Chains A and B, each alone.
Chain A
């Protein structure tokens, strides 16, 4: 057996324990704990500079954590080189060697390990066939399209038989059509080889479509780590709700409270909402989210006045046709952007026009309470846990 070839299906679980990474004065990653189960597809999602790529590079061994441990299959790998970790990385630029043919690129790992020429070629062609690139074996990378280059990069990484494949924004260089196609292909290949994939992206829908586990990050910290549906439907914090989109966040200070409702001041408006019991104290911060597609719209007399509990008034500011639905933006509804997604049949039955005052209403059970002191309070998150993974702070 050749050293380095020790992949067994189902291995490749990852644990980050209290990992911090500093670059000089800046802190890229702040005391992170994360568990990624073996054989899962995990997406690290966040805006640029949130630390997601640094985490990937620390797992890959191209960066060392300033503090904390990185465990792969229970073994601390900090300080050991990438090959010994059983990881392989696909770079954002693909980093295909421009002077080598596709087959030689794919066979690079075999060459440095001293595998003979004939066997190298044979195994590289085998791997290329898996991504349907065998006819391009003797081309140079510059002669291929972006999508083809990516397949070569993927085969080059997979030929090392890794336990974990790390993908740094793998789809960002492709056009929309190819991106959707490659997205499906990545998922197919992951299921086929059965190893852990960790995929860094800043595109919400990419993460939601691909991942078993979505890790939403901001400023070097994990905001939420959960299955895609939970992150999208039950965001833990206002940040996650806003970043994932699809939610309206109602955020403000509590003016008054009753048995199961609170009135909050948000922007220039007062909004009455269902509240958890016990309701938060007067004067405290309160945040809740309502999905854009869980809201009903009707015409109103004016855009002020008291619309009652679980409703806001406002003025139609924008209407965007999206095919099966319409995106209606409403101004002066709350302190921030308020959007309603209406099915096209409902909208066109009685079309609204821009500038019209409207009443937006939702059911009490559609109000999702957010952890408004997310950064300070720890472990109180109601949506931060899932059967897939947990993320906790210390």
Chain B
């Protein structure tokens, strides 16, 4: 008897339905918020829509009405960019260092990764307490920055491990063989080859910091970051401005993701045989991100 290879087994449909459910859960609430953020001037927090307007977006930037959105947004972006730069620089260098099995490398690695397991709120509490004990003033650019790095650095390091496991040491040797100094090898060979991986680390650093809450809550000091600001608003803002805020912040995250995935795909495309391979590279990156 011949089996019809074109026919799909029932599991295909069951798993597809499960995936559809997952997508509905992920994007359903988000699209409701997205739609409601364009609520008319007299509309409320729920459906139905009372006309369409951009009123709630403009309301966001009026400090007295909705809290300090503009300030929180600026601080969060600035903090995310600082975290991004530090995470990329430190993760790349640490990843390179871990390639040589230096004395104590295993304990150091476990110590670094343990901070991923520790509850973020406790890390934040600890940092806050320490600042108080030392009589330092906590702020978003000092204590909160440190607290966020405890999350982004181990992440960045793990990504660099994955990237470096596919990095052939012969590239560095070839550079040395051709007369490059260590400095030239690093900038002309290692960094360009690792660049797509560095973009992935940067993306993680940025997005993790941008919406970080538990570690930042007790360490941000007097001036709030955006997630703190949103948290405050959910308790005292009762207009669709809240939804407008959700839409704007989500768009920022999407732009960050599209920019980084896009640039990785372009680099991979240039280095490979053509569009097909770039698609594969993009798919791989997406798979890596989804696994997170």
By a beta-carbon cutoff of 8 Å, the part of chain A in contact with chain B is: 4, 60, 62, 81-83, 87-89, 91-93, 95, 97-100, 108-109, 111-113, 140, 142-143, 156-157, 160
Residue of A nearest to B170 (CB): A95
Q: Determine the chain A residues whose CB is within 8 A of the CB of B177 once the complex forms.
A: 60, 62, 82-83, 87-89, 157
Which residues of chain B in 137-174 are interfacial with respect to chain A, using CB atoms and an 8 Å cutoff?
A: 168, 170-171, 173-174
Q: Determine the chain A residues whose CB is within 8 A of the CB of B174 once the complex forms.
A: 89, 91, 95, 97
B179 touches A113 (CB 8 A): yes
Quick one: which of B176, B177, B179, B272 has the most chain A CB within 10 A?
Answer: B177
Question: With A93-B168, A99-B192, A142-B271 given, is the CB distance from A112 to B173 under 8 Å?
Answer: no
Q: How far is the CA of A156 from the CA of B171 in the complex (A)?
A: 13
B179 touches A82 (CB 8 A): yes
5 contacts between A and B (CB under 8 A): A95-B170, A97-B192, A100-B192, A112-B181, A140-B271
A97 touches B180 (CB 8 A): no
By a beta-carbon cutoff of 8 Å, the part of chain B in contact with chain A is: 168, 170-171, 173-181, 184, 188-189, 192-193, 195, 267, 270-273
Pick from B173, B192, B270, B272: contact of A62, CB below 8 A: B173
A160 touches B178 (CB 8 A): yes
Q: How far is the CA of A60 from the CA of B174 in the complex (A)?
A: 11
B176 touches A99 (CB 8 A): no
Residue of B nearest to A100 (CB): B192
Q: Determine the chain B residues whose CB is within 8 A of the CB of A109 once the complex forms.
A: 178-179
Q: Determine the chain B residues whose CB is within 8 A of the CB of A143 once the complex forms.
A: 273
Residue of B nearest to A113 (CB): B179
Closest CB in chain A relative to B191 CB, distance in Å: 10
Q: How far is the CA of A112 from the CA of B178 in the complex (A)?
A: 8
B188 touches A95 (CB 8 A): no
B178 touches A142 (CB 8 A): no
Closest CB in chain A relative to B75 CB, distance in Å: 36
Contacts A82-B177, A89-B177, A91-B173 supplied; 5 other A-B pairs, CB < 8 Å: A89-B173, A91-B174, A93-B170, A99-B271, A160-B178
Residue of B nearest to A92 (CB): B170
Residue of A nearest to B178 (CB): A109
B193 touches A160 (CB 8 A): no
Q: Determine the chain A residues whose CB is within 8 A of the CB of B271 once the complex forms.
A: 98-99, 140, 142
Closest CB in chain B relative to A58 CB, distance in Å: 13
Residue of A nearest to B180 (CB): A112
Closest CB in chain A relative to B28 CB, distance in Å: 42
Pick from B176, B181, B189, B267: contact of A97, CB below 8 A: B189
Pick from B180, B181, B193, B270: contact of A108, CB below 8 A: B180
Q: Determine the chain A residues whose CB is within 8 A of the CB of B175 once the complex forms.
A: 108
A97 touches B168 (CB 8 A): no
Q: Determine the chain B residues whose CB is within 8 A of the CB of A82 once the complex forms.
A: 176-177, 179
Pick from A97, A100, A140, A160: contact of B179, CB below 8 A: A160
Question: With A82-B177, A113-B179, A142-B273 given, is the CB distance from A95 to B168 under 8 Å?
Answer: yes
Q: Determine the chain B residues whose CB is within 8 A of the CB of A95 once the complex forms.
A: 168, 170-171, 173-174
Interface of B is mostly: helix
Number of A-B contacts (CB under 8 A): 67
Q: How far is the CA of A95 from the CA of B178 in the complex (A)?
A: 12
Q: Determine the chain B residues whose CB is within 8 A of the CB of A157 once the complex forms.
A: 177
Q: How far is the CA of A89 from the CA of B178 in the complex (A)?
A: 9
Q: How far is the CA of A4 from the CA of B176 in the complex (A)?
A: 14
Q: How far is the CA of A112 from the CA of B267 in the complex (A)?
A: 24
Closest CB in chain B relative to A196 CB, distance in Å: 16
Q: How far is the CA of A95 from the CA of B170 in the complex (A)?
A: 6
A83 touches B171 (CB 8 A): no
Q: Determine the chain A residues whose CB is within 8 A of the CB of B173 once the complex forms.
A: 62, 89, 91, 95
B179 touches A4 (CB 8 A): yes
Pick from A93, A142, A156, A160: contact of B272, CB below 8 A: A142
B168 touches A112 (CB 8 A): no
Closest CB in chain A relative to B179 CB, distance in Å: 4
Q: How far is the CA of A114 from the CA of B193 in the complex (A)?
A: 22
Q: Determine the chain A residues whose CB is within 8 A of the CB of B178 once the complex forms.
A: 83, 88, 108-109, 112, 156, 160
Q: How far is the CA of A99 from the CA of B180 in the complex (A)?
A: 16
Closest CB in chain B relative to A124 CB, distance in Å: 12
B180 touches A62 (CB 8 A): no
Quick one: which of A89, A91, A99, A157 has the most chain B CB within 10 A?
Answer: A99
Q: How far is the CA of A113 from the CA of B171 in the complex (A)?
A: 18
Q: How far is the CA of A156 from the CA of B180 in the complex (A)?
A: 13
Residue of B nearest to A106 (CB): B178
Q: Determine the chain B residues whose CB is within 8 A of the CB of A113 once the complex forms.
A: 179
Q: Determine the chain B residues whose CB is within 8 A of the CB of A81 once the complex forms.
A: 176, 179
A91 touches B170 (CB 8 A): yes
Q: How far is the CA of A157 from the CA of B173 in the complex (A)?
A: 12
Closest CB in chain B relative to A380 CB, distance in Å: 40
Pick from A83, A87, A112, A140: contact of B188, CB below 8 A: A112
Q: Determine the chain A residues whose CB is within 8 A of the CB of B184 once the complex forms.
A: 112
Quick one: which of B170, B171, B189, B273 has the most chain A CB within 10 A?
Answer: B170
A62 touches B168 (CB 8 A): no
Q: How far is the CA of A62 from the CA of B175 in the complex (A)?
A: 11
Closest CB in chain B relative to A70 CB, distance in Å: 15
A97 touches B171 (CB 8 A): yes
Residue of B nearest to A62 (CB): B173
Quick one: which of A60, A100, A108, A109 has the most chain B CB within 10 A?
Answer: A108
Question: With A91-B170, A112-B184 given, is the CB distance from A99 to B193 under 8 Å?
Answer: yes
Q: Determine the chain A residues whose CB is within 8 A of the CB of B270 once the complex forms.
A: 140
Q: How far is the CA of A312 from the CA of B254 in the complex (A)?
A: 81
Residue of B nearest to A89 (CB): B177
Closest CB in chain B relative to A162 CB, distance in Å: 10
Closest CB in chain A relative to B26 CB, distance in Å: 36
- Going nearest first, the 9 A-B pairs with the smallest beta carbon separation are A95-B170, A83-B179, A95-B174, A109-B178, A99-B192, A112-B180, A91-B170, A82-B177, A98-B271
Q: How far is the CA of A83 from the CA of B174 in the complex (A)?
A: 11
Closest CB in chain A relative to B163 CB, distance in Å: 14
Residue of B nearest to A4 (CB): B179
Closest CB in chain B relative to A81 CB, distance in Å: 7
Residue of A nearest to B179 (CB): A83
Q: Determine the chain B residues whose CB is within 8 A of the CB of A142 once the complex forms.
A: 271-273
Q: Determine the chain B residues whose CB is within 8 A of the CB of A112 once the complex forms.
A: 178-181, 184, 188
